[in-house]
Homo-oligomer: A and B are copies of this chain.
């Protein structure tokens, strides 16, 4: 999608296949900073420190990490070590290990062609991610259209949490793809954007994305969504996922579960949008999904603009013990449907397994 009328993806190669370029998302919306990744250490840091984030983009970035590593390693054993190292960058998003494992499986069959295979596969995953997101958008569009047909006199009110937008993927996004397609199809929508503490990806990135694309939206703090649902000001919620278990339990950004509870209490449909690569069929249920604990600094301080400079202010008393958990689990029973690139399904094991058999 576009930033200041110029078309961007969240990740792209240089023309000579020597390095990758990404948008340093830590500085959005205040600064559009392009950052180069030259080796697996750069990639590890970009994922770990969240220059890039969002399950699909983490997967694509890791795939290029294997490619960049293949340019600098001399044996399969060495490359396997790099692969294991990359997989530890962040624990919750399953797309990371999915992409790394997929590349390493192909490479291990023909190590002599490692560079070519890695590049082809990374390029393929990247291209397919765009197509998958567009497909998620098409399936989600139908849901928005139906709500619009029931109430054609007003915009469809959609709530989203965190950023599952094009900046969390390569293009279109997961949760936002139906919104972009609906807007482009002329269906009036309005999006409630949760700011999403502690890192404010909603306030910083989703508000930025939607604003650049001209989609009406309103920023709210994470505490507000329940009240808006009580007041009948939300027609549906759409969020992304970092990992979804075999039974349909959804790991997503911390606070998602609270919105799902409110949606259930107020009969608001609650959808999760995700590509097939975000399912983890090895896990029976959500309780087995590892929950990332990050630095307390992300909670204690808030980043923003002051006098034209990006600064961090400290909000809590010096020495206050602080816990920073990054994700929570929304039990499948609170999920109205999973909007995947292969269609919208119920969040249960039977439907999920059927999806993979197609």
Complex Cα gap A312–B208 (Å): 20
Contact at A204–B316, with CB atoms within 8 Å? yes
Q: Which chain B residues lie closer than 8 Å to A230 at the CB level?
A: 257, 328-329
Residues 278-306 of A contacting B (Cβ, < 8 Å): 291, 299-306
Question: Within 8 Å of chain B (Cβ to Cβ): is A274?
Answer: no
Q: Kindly provide the distance from the CB of A290 to the nearest chain B CB, expressed in whole angstroms.
A: 13
Q: How many copies does the complex hold?
A: 2
- With A320-B207, A322-B220, A323-B218 as given contacts, are A258 and B314 in contact (CB-CB < 8 Å)? no
Question: Within 8 Å of chain B (Cβ to Cβ): is A200?
Answer: yes
Contact at B265–A321, with CB atoms within 8 Å? no
Contact at B313–A313, with CB atoms within 8 Å? yes
Residues 72-100 of A contacting B (Cβ, < 8 Å): none
Residues 302-358 of A contacting B (Cβ, < 8 Å): 302-306, 311-317, 319-325, 327-329
Question: Within 8 Å of chain B (Cβ to Cβ): is A34?
Answer: no
Contact at B227–A257, with CB atoms within 8 Å? yes
Complex Cα gap A254–B226 (Å): 9
Question: Within 8 Å of chain B (Cβ to Cβ): is A195?
Answer: yes
Q: Kindly provide the distance from the CB of A302 to the nearest chain B CB, expressed in whole angstroms.
A: 4
Question: Within 8 Å of chain B (Cβ to Cβ): is A39?
Answer: no
Complex Cα gap A204–B220 (Å): 20
A209: nearest residue on chain B (CB-CB)?
B317
Question: Within 8 Å of chain B (Cβ to Cβ): is A137?
Answer: no
A217: nearest residue on chain B (CB-CB)?
B321
Contact at A313–B311, with CB atoms within 8 Å? yes
Contact at A315–B218, with CB atoms within 8 Å? no
Q: Kindly provide the distance from the CB of A347 to the nearest chain B CB, expressed in whole angstroms.
A: 16
Contact at B195–A258, with CB atoms within 8 Å? no
Q: Which of A197, A304, A317, A323 has the most CB of B within 10 A?
A: A317
Known: A227-B327, A228-B325, A304-B315. 20 other contacts (CB 8 A): A195-B299, A195-B315, A195-B316, A198-B221, A203-B315, A207-B316, A207-B320, A211-B317, A217-B321, A221-B324, A223-B258, A230-B329, A258-B258, A261-B261, A261-B262, A301-B304, A302-B313, A306-B312, A311-B311, A313-B313
Closest 9 pairs between A and B when the two form their complex, measured CB to CB: A223-B255, A304-B313, A227-B328, A29-B317, A302-B302, A261-B261, A197-B221, A304-B315, A258-B258
Question: Could you name 8 residue pairs across A and B whose Cβ atoms are closer than 8 Å?
Answer: A195-B315, A198-B221, A219-B321, A220-B299, A220-B325, A223-B254, A302-B315, A306-B313
